[in-house]
Structure 1
Amino acid sequence: MEYLGYFASIIIGISLGLIGGGGSILTIPILVYLFKVNPEQATSYSLFIVGLTAMSGSYSHYKMGNLKLKSALYFAIPSVISILIIREVIFPQIASTLFSIASYSVSKDFLIMIIFSVLMITAAISMIRKNQPEIKGAETNYIQLSFIGFIVGIITGFLGAGGGFLIIPALLFFAKLPMKQAVGTSLLIISINSSIGFAGDLYIGTPINYPFLLGVSGMALLGMVLGSQLSKKIDGTKLKPIFGWFVLVMGFYIITKEVLF
C-alpha cells in the first residue's frame, strides 16, 4: 500500500500544476487509506504537503507572469485569520468522541472524513460543470474576495484542504483574472494558507513524522514539476471534468467506507 501511496502522491502535484487545485482533495484519502495516518494528523500533514507543493508551483507561475499579488493578499489575509481561529482555538476543543448512541459512537475522525467526502463531492460537481466564461473589463470586488477568503480559510483550517476549487472561481468572478492568472494566484494563496496552518500546528505541538512527510512531499513536488510542464502543452480546464468524475467516485467511496465498514 505504501508504494501505491507514494505513486498516488505524484498525482497530487500533477493536479495542482495542471488545474491549480484538487491536490488537497486527494491528499487526505491517500494519507488515511494508503498510509494509515489517522484523519486528525492527516489534516496537518496535508497542510504541509499541499503548501510546499503549491509554493513550488506558484514560483513557476511567477516566472511566467501569472501572479496577481494584490488579489492574493486580499484573499489570503482573511483566510489566514480564519485558519488560525479554527486550528488553534476551535479544533483542539473538539472531543475525540462527539457522542454515543447505544453501542455506536461518532468520533472526531469520523466527522472529519464525512465532511471531507462531502467537500470532495462538492468540488467534483464544480469541476464537472461546464466552465463559465471569464469576466473581463469589470473592477475587482475586493470585499467579496476577502469574504470568500475567510470562508475558504475555515475549510482549510478544519480539513487541511487548500480550497483551490473555491479559490479559482472566486479569482475569476471577483478578481476578474484570466484563467492562467487565476491558477497561478490560487497556488500562491494555497501555499500561504497551508504553510501558516501547518506552522500553527507546530506551535501547539502536533507530532510530526518528518522523514515520512518529506518523502510524500518529494513525490508531490515531482508531480508539480510534471504538471507545470504539461500545463504549457495541455489546457488544464479540459482535464477538470475528467478529474472531477474521479473525485466524485472517491467521495462516495469514502462515505460508504466510513458509514458501512
Structure 2
Amino acid sequence: MRLLQRLRQKLPQHKYAIDTKMLGDAATLAWSNLGLWSSQAQTYVEACEQLAAHLAQSIQLSAQDCLLDLGCGHGASLQYWAQHYAVQHIEAVEIQTACIEKIQQQALACVRELHQCSFMNLNAANFAQKFDAIVCLDALYHYDLHQFIPQIPTLLKPQGRIAFHTLQLSENWSNAHFLSQQRDQYLLKLADVQLKHLMSQAQLQQLLEQQGFKQIQIQILSEPVLAGFADYVQRQPQFHGFQQDLNALKIQMTGKLCQQLRQSHRIDYVQVSATLA
C-alpha cells in the first residue's frame, strides 16, 4: 500500500498536468506552454510571455475587451492579460481541478468567472454575456477543430476576434512515406494529439470561413516554438538520460516530440487569428 501511495504521488494529477517548477517557473500562477523562443527570450518564463504577447497582438487585445481565456492552466495568462493589456473583465475555462482551485485562492480582480469544463462543451448559456475576444494559448491541438470552431460564433459579439495555437499538416505531408506518417501518428498520440484531427492550412482556412470568420491570419511558428522548446529542454541537465521521475520524463519526451516534428517538416505549429463577420 505504501508503494502504491508513493507511485500515485509521482503520477501527474491530470493528463495535461506538468511540473511547472521543473520547467522553469516556480510562481504560484505559473506558465505551462511551449514558449516562443528568440534572442529576447533567455528564460522559460520570458519565452512563455513572448508566446502570450504574440497571440494577444494578433487580435489587438485591449483594455476594453471582455475576454474569454480557454485553457488558462495555472493562471499565468490571466495575470498577464491584466498587467500588460489592462483587461479588467476576464472569464476562463480550465478542465484541471487543481488549477481552478489555485486561481480561486489568488482572487484575481480581473477574473469574473472560472468555468471548469471541456473545450467541446462551450455552451453559450453558461456564460453571462458574449465576448469581444477569445484566446487559447498553446492547447487546441489536443482537440478536434471541426467540433471546436462551430461553437465559437455563438460566444462572440459582432466583430469579435479569436486567436489560438494549433498544429497543421504542412505542404510536405502528402508526399511523405506511409511509414513516416504512421510514426508521426504514434508520436502524436503519446502527447494526446489525434492525427485525424489535424488539417492542412487550406482546410483550416475553409473551416473558419464556413463559420463566418474573416481577416484570417495563419502564421507558422515551428522554428521559434517547436525547435526553441526542444533546444531549451536539451540544455537542461535534469532532463538528460533515463528518467525515473514521471514529470521529468513527460517534459523530456515533449522536447523530443517537438524536435522530431521540426526536423521532419511534415507538421507545423501555427498561430491562428480571425474576426467574426
Settle same-fold status: TM greater than 0.5: no
Pairwise TM-score range, normalised by the shorter structure: under 0.3
Which structure shows the higher strand fraction?
2
Which structure shows the higher helix fraction?
1
Q: What's the TM-score, normalizing by structure 2?
A: 0.27
Q: Which has more radius of gyration?
A: 2
